[in-house]
Amino acid sequence: MKRSIYETNKEDIQSPLKGKNFSETIKNVWKFLFSKEFFEPNQTSLTLLKAHNSKNTFKNYFKFLSNPLDRPKQFNAMEEKFYREKSKRSFFKKMLRPLTIIGFTIFLFVLFLAIFAPWISPYSYIDISLNRHVGSFAQPSPEHLLGTTALGRDVLSRLIYGSRKSLSTGLGAITIGYSFGIIFGIIAAYFGGWVDKILMRIFDLILSFPGLILAMTVIAVLGRSMGNILFAFGVLAIPGVARLMRSSVLQVKNNLYIKAAKTAGAKDFKIMFKHILPNAISPIIISISFAMGSVILGIAALTFIGLGEPDIVEWGYDVNVARGKLFNAPWAVLWPGFIIAFTALAFILIGDGLRDALNPRDNV
């Protein structure tokens, strides 16, 4: 039967001096009075007093017992350490949920493919990107476990090497968008006034255009390359990140410790990035996973409609090439589509887990 948090028993409150028998109790008392070995496993109030200041032990005992308002500094340090460790344990406990674990498992699998692609891929990058082979859209065989796509290129090898391009491009776009978005969001919220109005109206103007159409326009102007796709999605991410950061900073900037920092003469840069940013970053951390999934889907969409580089191994490009062979060679379409969906799903599940773990209202 589960015990209530308000219930207790003798084992919870018994003194660390008490042993299993009389001789062990005497030994513990001896260690408590004359040895520091007792302090490591038994960090009680009285043992802390002796461990931190053994010269004035009896004076500290008397002060501690006679003055209920007295609270030694080491108690505060131990209490802070306890709550910090409790918070960490609570965070990891909330992250260990089935859907979150599935998301991390898929992500680690894709990351494994990206890192070890040259060693686990049946064919080299040159063979599946530049060389042309006989047997386009061939069925799965011992030589090609998942079949081939256009120009006889191995589907499995392209899936493995495609993970590199999708993750690297997505991470690059997220880095650009979140770096500038966080800076602009903090500046707009902290200074307010005309600075806030100008920045937010510019971002409203960018958000008024459909993201995919704007990305297509940027690529049409700058040229078809993965670098330009990365830049386009990075720029598109800035307004959303800035608005999210702005709303989070507005909740933090009026706290007492921010006012105390201003009164103490701290500069604006230090207040923004040392005092405000660490306390307003939680929503941004949560949104990164969702944004990563959206960017991977967006990159796949652009390469699907033919705006990517033809010699680059990318999942969306493979779906585009084989879309007319859905019934004749379904393996060439379905496998890239599945891995795109599962990778995006992994980041969404991770984002859900982070949101639940970092939610201050969730005390479960």
Give the largest Cα separation in the chain, rounded.
92
Neighbours of 160 (CB within 10 A): 26
**Distance, CA of 148 to CA of 136 (rounded, Å):** 6
CB burial class (10 A; 0-12, 13-18, 19+) of residue 256? Answer: exposed
The rounded distance, in Å, linking the Cα atoms of 312 and 301 is 15
Answer whether 89's CB lies under 8 Å from 125's CB: no
In eight-state DSSP terms, residue 271 is I
* pLDDT the model gives residue 230: 84
One of 1.10.10.10, 1.10.3720.10, 3.40.50.720, 1.10.3210.10 is the CATH number of 99-357, namely: 1.10.3720.10
pLDDT for 294 equals 83
DSSP state of 38: T
Element (DSSP H or E) covering residue 331? helix 330-357
Residue-range domain boundaries for the chain: 10-70, 99-357
C-alpha to C-alpha distance for 205 and 198, rounded to whole angstroms:
11
Dihedral pair phi/psi, residue 2, rounded to 5°: -70, 135
Best CA proximity match to 228, nearest among 241, 239, 214, 242:
214
pLDDT at 84 (0 to 100): 58
SS3 (DSSP) at 246: helix
pLDDT along the chain (364 residues), means of 10: 40 51 71 51 49 55 57 58 56 73 90 90 84 79 85 87 86 89 90 88 86 82 81 88 90 84 83 85 83 83 76 81 82 87 87 73 49
Three-state DSSP string of 74-106: HHHHHHHHHHHHHHHHHHHHHHCCHHHHHHHHH
Instruction: Write the CB contacts of 98 (distance below 8 Å, at least 6 apart in sequence).
Output: none
What is the Cα gyration radius of the chain? 30
How far apart are the two ends of the chain, measured CA to CA in Å? 20
CA dist 240 and 348 (Å) reads 17
User: How far apart are the C-alpha atoms of 11 and 109, rounded to whole Å?
Assistant: 46
